[in-house]
Amino acid sequence: MENKVLIINTGGTIGMVGKPLRPATNWLEIAKEHPVLEKFPTDYYQFEHLIDSSDATPEFWIKLVEVIEENYDKYLGFVILHGTDTMAYTGSLLSFLLKNLAKPVVLTGAQTPMIFPRSDGLQNLINSIYIAGNKLYDIPVVPEVCICFRDCLLRANRSKKTDSNNYYGFSSPNYNPLAEIGADIKIIKDRILPIPTEKFYVEKIINPNVLLIELFPGLNPNYIRDFVINNPEIKALILKTYGSGNTPTSVEFIDMLKEISNKNIPILDITQCVSGSVKMPLYESTDKLVKLGIINGSDITSEAGITKMMYLLGKGYDIERIRKEFSVSISGEQFA
Ligand code: ASP
């Protein structure tokens, strides 16, 4: 293994260059603006088509996993340059697909391109290289998929993009940061996952046929029923419910859930609150949901809930197994 970090550029604002802005064609084009970058022991891999992360797809995710798989033994860690918009989805999914991960996989990006004098990109990238390069900088190994953004190191499957402008663009409302990044980088060891002893491998299975609906007063339950029942390719429904997991208690709403549930479609209940957790059964509403077999999403983010469901469906699990998997944490994504 080389004592190096692999930077994988998938696209996003951070690596844009030129006027008008366009994706860089190679690492030199990015690094020449910032000679300091040449000092770091890194190799560089660039996706053939750099994307705006709003164009992320299951195929894109599989390709990313393959790049890590092919290079896993060669590097101390990985830095993924990625657009901020869907970074939390990519990070969450990677945390389910990279099994027995014993090295840091650090996603980073920027609110403005690195070529801008006030850009946040350079600092985000250098912090990420330090964390991925761990022993080169006397930093403990973080054996996790994480997001490094503006002095914050967050577990990716606990993170959300919560600001489209502020340099503190990400937060992790239900799990404390994995490190304090200031003059020193201090990894908080009791917040990181243990280093696995089993061999690393990847899973390349995603079934994206899930639907997420956020509840609001006045939502007609027939819309949900018609949409799900008329689209048999939908294999799971995720409801972003109120507060501690509450939904309307009307006969129409509960009957709609019953009908969908009877088709063996898993229904996952996650809260639309930014922090906190679904609690079942707390109110009459959630009591009804428990009786219907609705799955308790605990304190999972919607990004992790969606991608965990895609992963579990991809594995071909039935509804009982999916329920079981949502009662445990696969890679630190939920309280269990
Ligand atoms: N739309 C861009 C993206 O997610 C924004 C960014 O790069 O931060 O790719």
pLDDT tens, residue by residue, 207-223: 999 999 999 999 999 99
Report yes or no: 326 and 308 within 8 Å, Cβ to Cβ.
yes
Atom of ligand 1 nearest to the CA of 54: 4
pLDDT for 18 equals 82
pLDDT for 306 equals 98
pLDDT for 283 equals 81
Q: Whose CA is nearest to atom 6 of ligand 1?
A: 83
Atom of ligand 1 nearest to the CA of 84: 8
For the Cβ of 52 lying below 6 angstroms from any atom of ligand 1, the answer is yes
Dist CA 243 CA 218 (whole Å) = 17
pLDDT for 29 equals 87
- Indicate the Cα dihedral angle 176, 182, 186, 187, nearest 10°: 40
For the Cβ of 334 lying below 6 angstroms from any atom of ligand 1, the answer is no
Dist CA 171 CA 34 (whole Å) = 28
Nearest-CA neighbor of 255 among 216, 303, 222? 222
Give me the residues of the chain with pLDDT under 70, please.
Answer: none
| Residues known to be catalytic | 13
Q: From 9, 50, 80, 84, give the residue whose CB has the most ligand 1 atoms within 8 Å, as the site to mutate.
A: 84
For residue 196, give the DSSP letter: P
Report yes or no: 130 and 137 within 8 Å, Cβ to Cβ.
yes
Report yes or no: 261 and 294 within 8 Å, Cβ to Cβ.
yes
Q: Hunting for tokens 């991925």 — which residue is that? A: 132
Nearest-CA neighbor of 52 among 95, 90, 100, 3? 90
For the Cβ of 163 lying below 6 angstroms from any atom of ligand 1, the answer is no
**Cα of 321 from ligand 1 centre, angstroms:** 35
Dist CA 123 CA 108 (whole Å) = 10
Nearest-CA neighbor of 336 among 143, 175, 121? 175
Report yes or no: 198 and 100 within 8 Å, Cβ to Cβ.
yes
In this structure, what are the phi and psi dihedrals at residue 265, rounded to the nearest 5 degrees? -95, 120
Report yes or no: 50 and 81 within 8 Å, Cβ to Cβ.
no
Contacts of 187 by beta carbon, 8 Å cutoff, 6+ apart? 139, 140, 142, 153, 178, 179
Q: From 30, 54, 119, give the residue whose CB has the most ligand 1 atoms within 8 Å, as the site to mutate.
A: 54
Burial 54-74, CB ≥16 within 10 A → b, else e: eebeeebbeebbebbeeebee
Report yes or no: 40 and 76 within 8 Å, Cβ to Cβ.
no
Pick left, alpha or beta for residue 109 (phi over 0 → left; psi -120 to 50 → alpha; otherwise beta).
beta
Total number of residues shown for the chain: 336
For the Cβ of 55 lying below 6 angstroms from any atom of ligand 1, the answer is no
Joined together, the tokens standing for residue 193 give 């996952």
For the Cβ of 297 lying below 6 angstroms from any atom of ligand 1, the answer is no
Read off the pTM: 0.97
pLDDT for 292 equals 92
For the Cβ of 23 lying below 6 angstroms from any atom of ligand 1, the answer is no
Nearest-CA neighbor of 68 among 35, 32, 106, 124? 106
For the Cβ of 69 lying below 6 angstroms from any atom of ligand 1, the answer is no
Residue 263, classified by CB atoms within 10 Å of its CB into exposed (0-12), middle (13-18) or buried (19+), is exposed
What does the angle CA 332 – CA 98 – CA 49 come to, to the nearest 5 degrees? Answer: 120
Report CA 335 to chain centroid distance, whole Å: 16
pLDDT for 23 equals 87
Atom of ligand 1 nearest to the CA of 169: 8
